[in-house]
Structure 1
């Protein structure tokens, strides 16, 4: 089942999400639905708050970066209760977008690598370091779990220039190719 994507203006996107355990109701189904929603919406990552669930869970498919980084071929991972242990490496700029901010793309500077401890979909614990494109996508999705959006990295001037677009998104005046959930007034 494809979830509607929660868009800018909904308070859930600014809230710190809660940890879950292996007994979270219908967890397998939630993960399957998140994959389906992400692929349908043409995303490379999707965090649970983006589909209205304030839980510490996100999915990432960074295989689209395999042309530049061959090790990303078949890179599909589920991250449950992730905890960033370290961010490292040079900062680099990339143009980012977000399903919760349709029609907005901006250059964002992030560190090249991130080390996290997390559980996979079988609740097996992992500690791994991710670099390059995968590391960037993971940092972006992790931010969602802490109530942070990529626009928070922009200069005050750039944010002011985006204000009318953000208002349009929060009022549902955008029409992406996927279903959205506009904040209640």
Structure 2
């Protein structure tokens, strides 16, 4: 297994829709194993293939639920059904999100509290999963990566402006910028 460099905002693969996966082979298994190693070392709770420079519809997650212990998974060619989010004002304390492709920064973002994920596993077997709370947030965040969106693209005022400033301050927004978990300490 190998740790992969994580693309930073501005890398083109992060800002365009990912392509469906058509080959369920050893190359895909290697990519998934490398993504788990990268995510764990980063550390993160999710990682999408575009974040490691691969424009394919795949994300992984690792989230410890209170009652069920660690939950790790792989979603290939997913579809996400999202319930309408609350229209209340975003809570900066409980709804702040971060992203390995916008490292070291956190901003509040309203997300839906419930999702339904339909996807395929590494054996090309379909599955369905429902999630709520932070678990649902992880799926929405990673699914956005497959649509060419970073969570900062969804921020409302004044947080969007703060994210733009943070990106400029860190020198992000152009191609070719990555960081390597375990080696680099991304600024932010």
Same fold (TM over 0.5): yes
Which residue is 1:78 aligned to? 74
More strand by share: 1
Deviations 1:37-74 (A, max 9, x none): 000001000000000000000000011xx3xx323x12
SS in 2 for 1:133: helix
| RMSD over equivalenced CA pairs, Å | 2.5
More helix by share: 1
Tell me which stretches of 4 or more aligned residues in structure 1 moved more than 6 Å.
Answer: 171-176
Q: How does 1:1-185 map to 2 (within 5 A)?
A: 1-23=2-24, 26-63=27-64, 66=65, 69-71=66-68, 73-84=69-80, 86-88=81-83, 91=86, 93=91, 94-167=95-168, 168-170=170-172, 178=182
State the distance in 1 between where 2:157 and 2:129 align: 34
1:153 positional shift? 2.0
The verdict on how the C-alpha distance between 1:74 and 1:175 changes in structure 2, with shifts beyond 3 A counting, is closer
Q: Which ranges in structure 1 are unaligned for 5 or more consecutive residues?
A: none
Q: Which ranges in structure 2 are unaligned for 5 or more consecutive residues?
A: none
Conserved in 2, the CA contact under 8 Å of 1:82 and 1:118? yes
State the distance in 1 between where 2:72 and 2:149 align: 23
State the distance in 2 between where 1:38 and 1:101 align: 14
Deviates more, 1:152-161 or 1:96-105: 152-161
The verdict on how the C-alpha distance between 1:146 and 1:178 changes in structure 2, with shifts beyond 3 A counting, is farther
TM-score for both structures, normalised by structure 1:
0.84
